[in-house]
Copies of this chain bind each other. A is one copy, B any other.
Amino acid sequence: MTIVNEMTFQLQTDGKRCLYEQIYEHIRREIREGKLLAGEKLPSTRFLAEYLQVARSTVDYAYGQLLSEGYIEARPCKGYFVCPIEELLVLEETVVLPERTSGEEEFGERNFAVDFSPYDIDMSGFPFGVWKKITRNILTCANSDLFARGEAQGDDELRRTIARYLHSSRGVNCRPEQVIVGAGNDYLLLLLEKILGQHVRIAMENPTYTRSYRMFRSFAYRIETVDMDEFGMRADKLEQANVRVAYVMPSHQFPTGTVMPIGRRMELLKWADGAPDRYLIEDDYDSEFRFRGKPIPALQASDRHGRVIYMGTFSKAIAPAIRIGFMVLPDALLERYRREYAFYSCTVSRIDQSILNEFIRDGYFERHLNKMRKIYQGKHELLLECLQSMRESFRISGENAGLHLLLTSKRKILERELVRKAAENGVRVYGLSESMVEESPESTTVLLGFGGLSGEEIQRGAELLKKAWQL
């Protein structure tokens, strides 16, 4: 009986560690280190209790735990024996916590004085106060219901609010049942992949929104790029592309800012009607930020045969941390979703859904959008003004592109040059080719985002660019 004989069994009786745990751990260690071998008999609980001067129930408890974990077994009328355990000796108790692997991505190592990122937004206008107030109120009134599991599609109230908002602001026609709430666009695309099925051939414009492109590529979708003209994706080329789904951003295409006119929209819808199970994914990303005139209605608003999957997110219009997006499914896909995937749990907490619901329902969202639209419009105009003197050397476009402008060199200077020279002068600009998803002749266009910059930064950035490009 090793345990007793070895006399290494020193119980700490200072009350810091529970006695049964010490017994359990000692025996477990002996077994794992091969000091107690398979088949060996353990002392009886009565014997060990007397030997260690502890209550018998303490030893019972320790043996019970060892039994549960399978280190020992009880043979009726014979006592406790060590179990044979395959390869147990390889186990070590030491915790392996290696250092953080080096070679992690280090983005933005270089410090830019001004970063014209087309992806940044202005968070200074975010109504933190209102958001906090709503959160406080919701938590104060919260009953345990709010902490219970909600509907898989998202809570009914939020879906009603979204449907109402989409109808009034974007002309989208849908019932709340068609709305699926999810934790961001990436998740919703993952869900959509399930609904649409595998091996889908999908058409995208080139350049396009590379985030969606990478998602589709990670789905092993076959992606066909379809030529664009001034109106967006060419319907005749789409017809030839032999695809089942087309991904478009009709309200303003990223990054070109092209607004798809109603005529082209009808052509795309006609294409979708031309064969069963053809769909248009309308990414209405960022459509709130149009600075001239009314918002362009959604493509879904013109869809009469259930061919458009409408997607949107609150991450850009409210805050990136608000991981709430939604999609509106046409009936045929809704049915497929309900039949096959409606058991996937909702990915947004009910509390967050309630906060967003009140934020929209009580008009704060619209007020926030109006405010941000003005702020962004101001920045848009300021940037245009600052770039005025560059018009001799650059064509400036993208007035409908949202939070960035496009500058195309009239002197055919390659984007690589433009980006490099800007960087040398402390300014980050973005080559159009970053949004290219197919080999293309090298562009002479760069993107200048202004969403996240202050007025001073815009002015300073423009000055530095003039210096960099010697204008």
Interface code A287-318, partner B: CB below 8 Å = 1, 0 otherwise?
00000111011000010100000000001000
Are A183 and B323 touching (Cβ within 8 A)?
yes
| 0 or 1 for each of A261-274: is its CB under 8 Å from B? (1 = yes) | 11111110110000
Say yes or no for A321: interface residue by CB 8 A criterion: yes
Task: Check if B147 sits within 8 Å of A186, measured CB to CB.
Answer: no
Contact indicator B96/A173 (Cβ below 8 Å): yes
Contacts of A148 in B (CB 8 A): 123, 319-321
Known: A90-B304, A187-B183, A346-B323. A70 touches B263 (CB 8 A): yes
Alpha-carbon gap, A214 to B91, bound state (A): 35
A: number of interface residues (CB 8 Å): 97
Name which of A187, A260, A321 has the most chain B CB atoms within 10 A of its CB.
Answer: A321
Contacting residues, chain B, for A90 (C-beta < 8 A): 304
A55 on interface, CB distance cutoff 8 Å: no
- Bound CA–CA A299/B92 (angstroms): 14
A189 closest partner in B (C-beta): B344
**Residue A400 lies at the interface, judged by CB distance under 8 Å to chain B:** yes
The answer, yes or no, to whether A29 is at the interface (CB within 8 Å) is no
Residue A157 at the chain B interface, CB threshold 8 Å = no
User: A317 to chain B: closest CB distance in Å?
Assistant: 12
| Pairwise interchain contact A149-B320, C-beta atoms closer than 8 A | yes
Which residue in chain B gives the minimum CB-CB distance to A131?
B139
Q: Which of B97, B147, B259 contacts A322 (CB 8 A)?
A: B147
Residue among B61, B260, B296, B323 making CB contact with A345, cutoff 8 Å: B323
CB-defined contacts of A323 to chain B, threshold 8 Å: 183, 345-349
Instruction: State the 6 A-B residue pairs at the shortest beta-carbon distance, nearest first.
Output: A70-B261, A183-B347, A149-B320, A147-B319, A123-B144, A65-B293
Interface pairs (19), CB distance under 8 Å: A64-B292, A70-B260, A70-B263, A71-B261, A87-B270, A100-B175, A124-B144, A126-B147, A128-B139, A132-B139, A132-B142, A136-B139, A148-B319, A148-B320, A186-B347, A187-B345, A215-B344, A218-B340, A349-B352
